Amino acid sequence: MAKIIVEFSGWVECDSDKVMFVSMLDDSGITGTEWLKLSQDDQDNYILEDCIEAQRTALDGSLEYLDVIVQNEDGSEVSANRTYS
């Protein structure tokens, strides 16, 4: 079966009230506002929950490029959809 490979580069300024982080210890979630109040050691126990949602609710940002590549089992690329800002 073919693979879908997504490559992207860019940045976003997250809305700390809307972005969510998930604990890697117990799957509980907190907002970015709550995450910012944690110590660095405690922040390290969390990961961004959803990169796409962070982009949707971002205050600012720039998507440099987004490539969607379809790759056959033999490694050959059959199509690519490239978007550049």
Domain extents for the chain? 3-84
Q: What is the pTM of this model?
A: 0.75
Q: How far is CA 16 from CA 39, 61, 63, in A?
A: 16, 14, 19
pLDDT tens by residue, the chain, 85 residues: 889 988 889 999 999 999 999 999 998 999 999 999 999 999 999 999 998 899 999 999 998 888 888 988 888 877 777 776 6
CA dihedral 8, 11, 17, 22 (to 10 degrees): 50
